[in-house]
A and B are shown apart, each in its own frame.
Chain A
Amino acid sequence: TQLLEQSPQFLSIQEGENLTVYCNSSSVFSSLQWYRQEPGEGPVLLVTVVTGGEVKKLKRLTFQFGDARKDSSLHITAAQPGDTGLYLCAARAGDSNYQLIWGAGTKLIIKP
Chain B
Amino acid sequence: NAGVTQTPKFQVLKTGQSMTLQCAQDMNHNSMYWYRQDPGMGLRLIYYSASEGTTDKGEVPNGYNVSRLNKREFSLRLESAAPSQTSVYFCASREIFNQPQHFGDGTRLSIL
Contact = CB atoms under 8 A, between A and B. Distances in A.
Interface of A: 4, 9, 31, 33, 40-45, 48, 50, 88, 90, 92, 97-100, 102-105
A103 B42 contact: yes
Contact of A105 (B31, B42, B59, B106): B42
Contacts, number: 54
Nearest to A9: B40
Given A98-B48, A98-B56, A99-B48, 4 more contacts: A41-B105, A44-B100, A48-B100, A102-B42
B41 A41 contact: no
A48 B98 contact: yes
Given A41-B106, A42-B4, A42-B105, A98 B42 contact: no
Contact of A100 (B4, B45, B104): B45
Contact of A98 (B41, B50, B105): B50
A40 B100 CA distance: 19
Nearest to B97: A97
Contacts of A31: 98
A45 to B, nearest CB: 4
15 contacts: A40-B105, A41-B103, A42-B4, A42-B103, A42-B105, A43-B43, A43-B90, A43-B101, A44-B100, A45-B100, A97-B50, A98-B48, A102-B43, A103-B42, A104-B42
A interface SS class: loop
Interface string B69-112: 00000000000000000000010100001101101111000000
B92 A42 contact: yes
A98 B97 contact: yes
Given A98-B48, A102-B42, A103-B42, A45 B31 contact: no
Nearest to B43: A102
A44 B42 contact: no
B104 A42 contact: yes
B58 interface: yes
Contacts of B101: 43, 45, 100
Contacts of B41: 104
